[in-house]
Amino acid sequence: MGTIQVFSQEENSESDYKKIYSQILQDPSRSAQEMVVYADSLKSAAKNNRDVVYADLILATAYIHTTQEAKAIEVIQEAHDLAAKSGLHEEKIMAMFHLKDAYRKFQLEEKRKEIIHQISKEVESLEQNDFYYSVKADNFLDLASINKENHELYEKFLLDAHKLFRQHDFSGSIKMRVLNNLGSYYHDQKKYDEAEKYFRELLKFNKEKYNNSVVYQVVGNLNLAHIFNLKKEFEKASSHLEISENLIDKHDLSGYAVTLKKIQTDYLRGIGDLNKENTLNRELLELSEQVSDSTKKAIEQVIKFEKFSSEEEKKALVEKKNQNIFFLLGFSIVCLLFALWVFFMYKRYKKQKSKAFNKLIEKLELLQNSKEIPLVSIPVEKEIKTKDKTGCIEIGISEEKELEILHNLEEFEKGEAFTDNQFSLSSLAAHLNTNTKYLSFVLKKHRGEGYSDYINRIRIEYIAKRMYNEPELLKYKITHLAELAGFSSHSRFTQIFKKETNLSPSAFIEKLQLKK
């Protein structure tokens, strides 16, 4: 029988987005769809490139859960490139770890090996702090995993990781995995004294520096009991089995019950107690055939019930069982109502998104079918109603000049000069042969907005129209679409796009692809 493996992850937070990222990875209750929507909203509100990277990593995690291989890898690569471009070395390494996990999930083993070797090189560019040592140790674990057939290399990488822990104090979860892997490796090599040493170190480290995790207490004690069975030190094995059994019963760790009973049967066989071994084997067979924890508990209750000698004891147990049924029924109803509420809220959200999409498509189709309609939907005023007694506008602009600016503005909106991300109010004034004061007045009066809102809106309408008319653009990354529209920032583009259309760029692209 092999030793027991456990895996866990621990993240250190440096920013709000990193905390959110860490919390989401540790929350198994979130659906992939919820994570997509949430990541999208985070990306829209991102204040810097670091935030965008974490939002992308959350989005990639959602795609991995839904086995959307291409999307997951594309988003991770985008996060990696942005982190590299922005000098975010830690986030770049984290993106590479995500890419490695994606390749493992999709069984692209050769690509996974490539990225593990890349991480080995990239990690050396990091500052030598806790994060550096944590990543380096994790990378040693990965290098060991891809060299498992080469016993010499496998042992070397595990010992290299362990050496880092002796020299530096950092992430406990990785050390627990290293110790467990070393114990398991020496067990497989039949070096039981070495295996015992590392499993004992695991229990000691868990107690002193890892909050005495119950799971690792169980794992460590079960592995030691198994090792002592093999070494025929049955008294020591019995002691560790007793500790394990008490922990499993106390904390309802039914997932380890089968392993416990297997090691107990080995122990009973070792001490020659064949009757108890046969009884335990029957229990083990029954336990292995159960489908769920609830079924196991039901069988235990039946066994207990049959052992009661008096009718009063049976009656008390039945009453207690009925109370539990009523409690479970009430709890189930509450859960059902909550699930219905979540379902209707999600349907409402989808309906709002569909409505926003349909409204935008109607406008784009109108622009497509009527070439005379300007891109800007606000109507041009032909009458000037703010003249003073001299016939001039109060700011000093004549009616003729105002109409001239307005005409030039319409022509400007038909072109693409505004897609220059350096284009400013002064640039537009020069382009229209006027000054910023007159231009601001005309924009406010005839477009109902200031320069910033105006230029952002026509950029969004421009790129939305191009995406509608040019399906090949739907394959481009959001960053490239942002550049085409005149935005220098992916996050700013997403924020403005959502403000103008009530849809994120990715949601618009997805719906447009379905429509096309």
% residues pLDDT > 90 (the chain) = 19
- Are 418 and 457 in contact by the 8 Å Cβ rule? The answer is no
Model confidence band, residue 287 (pLDDT cutoffs 50, 70, 90): low
Phi-psi label, residue 211: left if phi above 0, alpha if psi -120 to 50, beta otherwise: left
- What's the whole-number mean pLDDT along residues 412-435? 90
Instruction: Report whether pLDDT(306) > 50.
Output: no
User: One-letter amino acid identity for 41?
Assistant: S
| Domain map (residue ranges) of the chain | 213-307, 354-515
Instruction: Report whether pLDDT(435) > 50.
Output: yes
> What is the CATH number that goes with domain 213-307?
1.25.40
Across the chain, mean pLDDT equals 77
- For the chain, count helices (H), then strands (E): 23, 0
Query: How far is the C-alpha of 397 from the C-alpha of 374, rounded, in Å?
Result: 24
pLDDT digits (tens, 9 = 90+) for 348-405: 655 565 666 666 776 666 655 544 333 333 333 333 344 444 344 456 788 888 999 9
pLDDT value, residue 25: 67
Is the pLDDT higher at 78 or at 11?
78
- Are 240 and 226 in contact by the 8 Å Cβ rule? The answer is no
Q: Which of 5-9, 189-193, 285-289, 486-490 has the lowest mean pLDDT?
A: 5-9
pLDDT value, residue 258: 81
- What's the whole-number mean pLDDT along residues 476-504? 89
Query: How far is the C-alpha of 184 from the C-alpha of 303, rounded, in Å?
Result: 36
Q: Which of 70-79, 259-268, 308-317 has the lowest mean pLDDT?
A: 308-317
pLDDT value, residue 227: 93
- What's the whole-number mean pLDDT along residues 156-172? 80
What the block records as the tokens of 246 is 């008490």
pLDDT value, residue 316: 58
- Are 64 and 105 in contact by the 8 Å Cβ rule? The answer is yes
Query: How far is the C-alpha of 161 from the C-alpha of 137, rounded, in Å?
Result: 5
Instruction: Report whether pLDDT(195) > 60.
Output: yes
Model confidence band, residue 500 (pLDDT cutoffs 50, 70, 90): confident
What the block records as the tokens of 27 is 């929350």
CATH topology for 354-515? Arc Repressor Mutant, subunit A (1.10.10)
Is the pLDDT higher at 135 or at 171?
135
pLDDT digits (tens, 9 = 90+) for 65-95: 776 777 888 889 999 999 889 988 888 988 9
Is the pLDDT higher at 191 or at 27?
191
- Are 474 and 404 in contact by the 8 Å Cβ rule? The answer is no
pLDDT value, residue 393: 45
Query: How far is the C-alpha of 259 from the C-alpha of 428, rounded, in Å?
Result: 74
Instruction: Report whether pLDDT(411) > 80.
Output: yes
pLDDT digits (tens, 9 = 90+) for 104-138: 877 888 888 998 998 888 888 888 887 788 888 88
- What's the whole-number mean pLDDT along residues 447-469? 90
- What's the whole-number mean pLDDT along residues 17-27? 74
